[in-house]
């Protein structure tokens, strides 16, 4: 009975923290799938796969960013699996490793966001240079894969090549939105730089928000681990201090009646019971 009450109180003590960490792991799993899915799409999509097949572009910012997305998403999903195992099976060692991984992942996410925001001008220029080198490569060999990639970028950003003049561009520009754009449109390197500079706070918010989510999950995991340790210690104390059913059924020899019985081979004969003499009886005798 006492053991059941202890288990019920233990369930109530850390069940709330288990619910919190389960919800946070669910959202962390969504973010991990989003990062991994976006990275894999950029890596193997028909529009961008050709970039990774060109040795001259293997060290560009785009390739590095895609690699970071795939790596970060995979690590986040690995952390989620490890956290689910530790929380559901009440494994303190697994939760400890989970806390260490969460700490490293939170530091990495916040660090990447801060670096991207503080170096937004340089990062934007590197992405613009990547577009210019990709455009020059297409002008030299006319690779259809590069053509599809450039067209995708121009349609997404509504820009026109490296000059912005549709007449002199070797690649077809997007449909103009106004009469003036028939003569000149924004060039893509300038649009990329300004677009990334304006969207840098959003990128910072995404990475810092992800890091904050990891910190909250770290706090809940630490509290859950301490609750599991406390419940485990309390359960062991109750088991060691309370009387077991075997002890109650077999009390110590001092609590049993002091008598001896002697049985004879003849089953029809009544047993003779000898009551031991006490000190007082011997004195009276």
Reported as a pLDDT band with limits 50, 70 and 90, residue 116 is: confident
pLDDT of residue 7: 47
Mean pLDDT of 207-231: 81
pLDDT of residue 129: 82
Beta carbons within 10 angstroms of residue 52's beta carbon? 17
User: pLDDT digit string (tens) for 65-90?
Assistant: 788 889 888 988 888 888 888 877 87
Give the predicted TM-score (pTM) of the model.
0.58
> Which of 191, 206, 216 lies closest to 99, judged by CA?
216
pLDDT at residue 39 tops 80: yes
Q: Which phi-psi region, left, alpha or beta, contains residue 65 (left: φ > 0; alpha: ψ -120 to 50)?
A: alpha
Asked if residues 120 and 197 have their Cβ atoms less than 8 Å apart, the reply is: yes
pLDDT of residue 268: 54
**43-52, 69-78, 85-94, 160-169: which range is least confident on average?**
43-52
pLDDT of residue 114: 92
**21-25, 91-95, 163-167, 270-274: which range is least confident on average?**
270-274
Q: Where are the domains of the chain?
A: 2-162+192-239, 254-284
The DSSP string of 116-135 is HHHTHHHHHHHHHHHHHHHH
Asked if residues 221 and 95 have their Cβ atoms less than 8 Å apart, the reply is: yes
pLDDT at residue 33 tops 90: yes
- Spatial separation of the C-alpha atoms in residues 65 and 80, rounded to whole Å: 22
pLDDT of residue 81: 85
The DSSP string of 136-179 is HHHHHH--HHHHHHHHHHHHHHT--TTT--TTT-SSPPPPPSSS
pLDDT > 90 fraction of the chain, expressed in percent and rounded: 4
pLDDT of residue 118: 92
Mean pLDDT of the residues in the chain: 74
């Amino acid at each position: 009975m006492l053991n059941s009450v202890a288990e019920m109180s233990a369930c109530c003590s850390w069940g709330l923290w288990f619910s919190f960490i389960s919800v946070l792991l669910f959202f962390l799993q969504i973010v991990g799938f989003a990062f991994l899915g976006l990275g894999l799409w950029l890596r193997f999509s028909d529009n961008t796969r050709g970039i990774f097949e060109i040795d001259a572009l293997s060290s560009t910012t785009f390739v590095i960013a895609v690699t970071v997305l795939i790596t970060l998403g995979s690590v986040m999903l690995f952390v989620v699996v490890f956290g689910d195992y530790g929380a559901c099976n009440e494994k303190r060692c697994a939760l400890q490793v989970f806390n260490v991984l969460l700490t490293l992942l939170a530091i990495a996410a916040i660090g990447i966001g801060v670096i991207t925001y503080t170096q937004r001008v340089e990062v934007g220029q590197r992405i613009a240079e990547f577009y210019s080198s990709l455009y020059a490569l297409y002008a030299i060999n006319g690779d259809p894969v590069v053509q599809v990639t450039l067209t995708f970028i121009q349609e997404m950003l509504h820009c026109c090549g490296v000059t912005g003049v549709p007449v002199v561009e070797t690649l077809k520009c997007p449909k103009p939105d106004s009469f003036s754009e028939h003569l000149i449109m924004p060039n893509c390197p300038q649009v990329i730089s300004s677009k990334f500079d304006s969207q840098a706070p959003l990128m910072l918010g995404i990475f810092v928000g992800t890091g904050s989510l990891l910190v909250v999950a770290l706090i809940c995991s630490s509290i859950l681990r301490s609750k599991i340790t406390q419940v485990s210690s309390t359960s062991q104390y109750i088991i060691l201090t309370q009387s077991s059913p075997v002890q109650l059924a077999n009390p110590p020899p001092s609590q049993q009646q002091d008598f001896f019985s002697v049985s004879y081979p003849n089953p029809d004969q009544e047993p003779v019971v000898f009551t031991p003499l006490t000190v007082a009886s011997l004195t009276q005798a």
